[in-house]
Structure 1
Amino acid sequence: MGPRLKPKYLADVPTYRSKSLLLALSAAAAISPLTVPGAQAAPVRQAASAPQDAPARQAAPTPQDALAWTPCPRPDLGGPATQECATLTVPVDHANPAGPQLSLAVSRVRSEDPAKRRGALLVLAGGPGGSGVQRLTQRGTKLRDRLGDAYDLVALDPRGAGGSTRATCRLPSADRHLTALRSWPAPGGNIDANIERSRRTAALCAENGGPVLRSLSTANQVRDMDLFRRALGERKLSAWGTSYGAYAAAVYAQKYPQHTDRWVLDSVADPDPAHLARTWMRNTGQAVEDAFPAFAAWAADPARETDGLAPRLAQHPALVRPLVLALAARLDRAPKESTTPGTPLTGNRLRQALQNALYGQANHPALARLIAAASSTDPEVRPVLTPDIAGPVPDADAATTIGVICNDVRWPEGRGTVAAHRRAVLADRARYPLTAGFPANITPCSFWKWAPADEPARITSSGPSNILVVQNRRDPSTPYFGALKMREALGDRARLVSVNTTGHGSYLGTGNACGDARVTAFLAGGVRPGSDVSC
């Protein structure tokens, strides 16, 4: 029999925003990428003949008319009626522009008033692995309402993502659940299974990934972005990058400062080039601790007794944390059968659901219902798993995220690394119980078969002063203290808008009128604060 919770608590599970599979750095929608008509995945293919003496890292010119735009509106998703899609061809290896090619899905919503148009605004999704085409579909109408006809709104699916050429590792489905991809330790902190799975994943990616997987990196995404700019016929781009997309935007501004106009970095991470995703992962423990009180206050609010969204979990916010920790420990010992056959609710699935739900208040009701069902002593009540934890992630999505973070920077490896992770996990579990040691755990990158093809970019203060950073103060994925590192690195090139709210993704995401107005004023009118401001 199904759950016997009161009917008002059995509303449909809200759509979850997409997270990076290992790092939860994106803020798009749903685990599986949206496929937009006219933006289909394509295989790698051999390029037509091109000059063989092209200089290294100089891709062949891409003429503007190479983009054959066709209508691809998605009114069912609230997308703009005038959205168009096309395919951009780029080299697998930018050092060999005449070599094999891959296809990128691209999209645009054109300005309808040439007199008001000032350029193109590139919308960058999070990830690694988020679909820019999907994000434009979801946010294009809101952007047009805010910005009018100041821009053609444009986006691309990075190589490996969405409708672009995909890669594969051929991982078994059991290794593609988020609780496996994200290296949650076993109850008590043992990481033997994580070590074995990480070795297996790295080996399968090396065996099956081929040149496409090897090419997945921030450096190549940035090169692809510049080819897109050239194909659009634009001398400069403006940009709105969120989460990992904000990091990619920062790297573009470092590499191609002459081609940047108005640049917005939304929910950005620490750009330390020596660590990158290693730092992003380690920061998760504190980030979740900072964001959890907002969920606790919501779950203990007396309004839960009358609004029909979810059961009230406790009489006071301070009681929610011990309730969740005790429940996770109980599920570690005795997982509870869920409504998903063969997939019980474990302590780590609950912890993963918690972290995902902290991305925004829209996700809180489903988490509260999950906690209430898991806490029930009625044997007929079974938890309803939210979609993000109910099944495996598609192999291509897993391959892209793993590929980018492992290809971007060298990770510690060797026997000493395993021992160091064992110690770090135990310490992290004690310091951040809500994440139970996952942020310090080992990943496939410690056994990766390829060295980075490019040195990670060092973000500096050299370049035009045309960057606006917008950051929520309590972000469960890209914490505020990490964004301050990006702000420090950019120096006078940037201004920071600090938004006093909780959640991941600030602009047009949290409903903070002050923060939204600051970003809109910058993009629409070029009004950037003279100094850092708080909202």
Structure 2
Amino acid sequence: MTTHRVSLTRVALGAASLALVGACATPPAMAGSAAAEPAAQVVWGACPEDVVAKAAPSRLDCATVPVPVDYADPASGEIDIMISRLASQDPSKRRGVLLLNPGGPGGSGLTLAALLVAQGLPASVTDSYDVIGMDTRGIGYSAPVTCGFTVDGPYFANIPPYAVDAAAVVERAAVAEGAAQQCAQNDRDGLLRHLTTANMARDLDRIRAALGEEKASFLGYSYGSALGAAYASLFPERSDRIVLDSNVGDTHLDRDGMRRYALGMEQTFPAFASWVAERHDSYGLGRTADEVRATYAEIAARLDDEPVQGIDGATFRAATFGGLFNERQYASTAQLWQSMRTGAPLPPAPGGPPDLVALENSLSVFLSVTCNDVDWPEDVQTYQRAVAQDRERFPLYGAAAANITPCAYWPYEPAEAPVEIADEGPTDVLLVQNRYDPPTPYRGGELLREKFGSRARLVSVDASGHGAYVLGGNACASDVTTRYLVDGEMPEDDVTCRAS
């Protein structure tokens, strides 16, 4: 049952990893790359076998790019970042490179180009660019890190469990402190403290330079929006066309960003509840959206007292949160609810059994970047107050999103302030945002629009789910974004796209 629990919460840990989201000025000495720009040096070759298999039928090339472990002290050593390339097949149309990031922090992006092609990325985009995926530092094939978490250990989820009361926050604090200590104990190469959004943005610029490009375009989803915002702010003169989708709201994830998970669930849940209500004859979970919401509360409360098939109330809430990311997951989420009410066998885990090694790596990177980017409160009472407040404001998930994390006990202080959004520069940032998005609610798009000012335009999509461009299937959003990437046509004003 434990493995199934991991499968159920995996989605909520990935895209909801989100990258969500403060800002102080970055010290001038660290603003860009601390060392001279390297010459073009990429030597393309075959990708690892698992990357080839996941990318099929798309064919990718792979290479590595060396980057400093510590940009403040480049002589301290280097690590290799693995990148992939879906090469443009039309040299006459090729504009440059389009760097990708799938979110996280902690998501592997080596096969993202292939995934987007399979989902309908227009050929005009793949003709215009060499599409460059990557494993950012600490992930997968790029000097992977581990905190040594195990599936049967006390910590194996970066979204804290729903805290039913103040005592539950104290109980979670002990787990969070142990997880932070475990990360420090496993940091044998001293890399964890250097996993930051600012350093990942500097890595992007090293990749651009290694590819021999004067500028780079960027497409990032979820946490990728924070990374892209950091890149466009640190290197505005080297940013070409920047598309940020499902926006965190800043260049890093902080408490406010994580608490917005609960806002996103409240805003997105009605679409799922209506879908389930329309199928009451199949699922028996309520004939109206209000009845479905009441069913959720009833199941969660009962599981808080007595787990069913290894699923407790916290896991049930997390699985439901993850089930709102895309309508394709609604059926399996409703089946999970049925199992909790009737004792019927659990539905198959979406996507099959998780790769626990890759998942642990992702959890470790998410935690490191989130804790390194910003200084988190260290007193338990701060989290108890937030949990009590958000349990009332956002009953579905507030007491989870506001709960304490290992960042309260992180062994390393931030090496620098978070990257500050640069609102001076070219109008080159297109923000794409669904109005109903569980981990990155619409407010994240509004925040980035306000902070970038005249540099940005916001495409608001009247749709539910996580991911709008290509992944969401909205024709209007696709057309506006593709025109910008291919032709450089930035809308004169913000755009509203109706539901498809």
The alignment's TM-score, normalised by the length of structure 1, stands at: 0.83
Offset of residue 75 of structure 1: 7.2
Q: Do residues 156 (structure 1) and 168 (structure 2) align?
A: no
Offset of residue 78 of structure 1: 5.6
Retained in 1: the 8 A contact 2:44–2:61? no
Name the residue aligned to 1:525. Answer: 487
Q: Do residues 207 (structure 1) and 170 (structure 2) align?
A: no
Q: Distance in 2 between matches of 1:152 and 1:493?
A: 25
Higher relative contact order (CA 8 A, sep 6+): 2
Name the residue aligned to 1:10. Answer: none
Retained in 1: the 8 A contact 2:42–2:211? no
Among candidates 10, 18, 41, match of residue 25 of structure 1: 18
Q: Distance in 2 between matches of 1:481 and 1:386?
A: 31
Name the residue aligned to 1:340. Answer: none
Name the residue aligned to 1:143. Answer: 121
Structure 2 alignment gaps of length 5 or more? 1-6, 21-30
Name the residue aligned to 1:383. Answer: 346
Q: Do residues 325 (structure 1) and 297 (structure 2) align?
A: yes
Among candidates 401, 410, 431, match of residue 393 of structure 2: 431
Q: Computing the radius of gyration over CA atoms, which structure comes out larger, 1 or 2?
A: 1
Name the residue aligned to 1:368. Answer: 334
Q: Distance in 2 between matches of 1:401 and 1:388?
A: 21
Q: Distance in 1 between matches of 2:352 and 2:386?
A: 26
Give the direction of change, closer, same or farther, for the CA distance of 1:407–1:205 in structure 2 (3 Å limit).
same
Give the direction of change, closer, same or farther, for the CA distance of 1:197–1:217 in structure 2 (3 Å limit).
same
1:199-233 CA distance string (max 9 Å, x none):
11111112222421111000110111011001111
Name the residue aligned to 2:111. Answer: 134
SS in 2 for 1:367: helix
Give the direction of change, closer, same or farther, for the CA distance of 1:19–1:103 in structure 2 (3 Å limit).
farther
Retained in 1: the 8 A contact 2:42–2:63? no
Q: Distance in 1 between matches of 2:177 and 2:258?
A: 19
Q: Do residues 192 (structure 1) and 157 (structure 2) align?
A: no
SS in 1 for 2:467: coil
Name the residue aligned to 1:65. Answer: 41
Name the residue aligned to 2:319. Answer: 353
Give the direction of change, closer, same or farther, for the CA distance of 1:22–1:467 in structure 2 (3 Å limit).
closer
Offset of residue 76 of structure 1: 5.3
SS in 2 for 1:400: helix
Q: Distance in 1 between matches of 2:401 and 2:8?
A: 25
User: Which residue identity is paired with 1:118?
Assistant: R
Retained in 2: the 8 A contact 1:175–1:197? no
Offset of residue 286 of structure 1: 1.2
Among candidates 180, 194, 200, match of residue 221 of structure 1: 200
Name the residue aligned to 2:25. Answer: none
Q: Distance in 2 between matches of 1:490 and 1:20?
A: 28
The structure carrying a bigger helix percent of its residues is: 2
Q: Distance in 2 between matches of 1:226 and 1:350?
A: 41
Q: Distance in 2 between matches of 1:389 and 1:77?
A: 14
Retained in 1: the 8 A contact 2:170–2:380? no
Matches within 5 A, 1:53-452: 57-59=33-35, 61-70=37-46, 77=54, 79=56, 81-141=58-118, 142-175=120-153, 180-189=157-166, 190-210=168-188, 211-271=190-250, 276-302=253-279, 311=283, 313-337=285-309, 344-376=310-342, 381-384=344-347, 386=349, 394-413=359-378, 417-452=379-414
Offset of residue 136 of structure 1: 1.9
The alignment's TM-score, normalised by the length of structure 2, stands at: 0.88
Retained in 1: the 8 A contact 2:232–2:422? no
Offset of residue 483 of structure 1: 1.5
Give the direction of change, closer, same or farther, for the CA distance of 1:389–1:77 in structure 2 (3 Å limit).
closer
Name the residue aligned to 2:4. Answer: none
Retained in 1: the 8 A contact 2:225–2:246? yes
Higher alpha-carbon deviation: 80-89 or 389-398: 389-398
Matches within 5 A, 1:437-516: 437-516=399-478
1:126-154 CA distance string (max 9 Å, x none):
00111121322311453353525111111
Q: Distance in 2 between matches of 1:282 and 1:514?
A: 30
SS in 2 for 1:456: coil
Retained in 2: the 8 A contact 1:495–1:532? yes
Q: Distance in 2 between matches of 1:387 and 1:199?
A: 31
Retained in 2: the 8 A contact 1:19–1:25? no
SS in 1 for 2:106: coil
Q: How many residue pairs align between the two structures?
A: 475
Give the direction of change, closer, same or farther, for the CA distance of 1:523–1:17 in structure 2 (3 Å limit).
farther
Give the direction of change, closer, same or farther, for the CA distance of 1:364–1:435 in structure 2 (3 Å limit).
same
Q: Distance in 1 between matches of 2:251 and 2:210?
A: 31
User: Which residue identity is paired with 1:116?
Assistant: K
User: Which residue identity is paired with 1:334?
Assistant: E
Offset of residue 58 of structure 1: 2.4
Retained in 2: the 8 A contact 1:79–1:138? no
Offset of residue 481 of structure 1: 1.3
Give the direction of change, closer, same or farther, for the CA distance of 1:187–1:387 in structure 2 (3 Å limit).
farther
Structure 1 alignment gaps of length 5 or more? 1-13, 28-54, 338-343
Retained in 2: the 8 A contact 1:166–1:212? no
Offset of residue 65 of structure 1: 3.4
Retained in 2: the 8 A contact 1:20–1:128? no
Give the direction of change, closer, same or farther, for the CA distance of 1:370–1:529 in structure 2 (3 Å limit).
same
Give the direction of change, closer, same or farther, for the CA distance of 1:265–1:95 in structure 2 (3 Å limit).
same
Offset of residue 387 of structure 1: 5.7
Q: Percent identity?
A: 37
Offset of residue 184 of structure 1: 1.2
Give the direction of change, closer, same or farther, for the CA distance of 1:197–1:164 in structure 2 (3 Å limit).
same
User: Which residue identity is paired with 1:64?
Assistant: A
